Amino acid sequence: MGDRIRGMKKKLPIGIQSIKKIIIGGYAYVDKTGLAHELLKRGEYYFIIRTQEYSVL
């Protein structure tokens, strides 16, 4: 979000599946590893779905 505040919008990595290409190319990336860890620590059940475009891979 900091880049957007300064007037710079990052590109979305549509179709790019390599984290190396995303980082080097300056694409937007949100690391949700911490969120996944929190969900696991709580020990509750969650229903997590993926959009169809990710299911086709």
Please write the tens of the pLDDT for every residue from 4-57: 556 678 888 988 989 899 999 999 988 888 888 888 888 888 787 766 665 555
Instruction: Say which DSSP state 40 is in.
Output: H
User: Could you state, in order of their start, the residue ranges of all structural domains in the chain?
Assistant: 2-55
Q: How far is CA 14 from CA 7, 34, 47, in A?
A: 21, 23, 25
HSE-CB at 52 with a 13 A cutoff on CA atoms is 0
pLDDT at 25: 93
CB 13 within 8 A of CB 25: yes
CA distance 14 to 22: 10
Q: What are phi and psi of 9, to 5 degrees?
A: -105, 130
The predicted structure's pLDDT at residue 21: 93
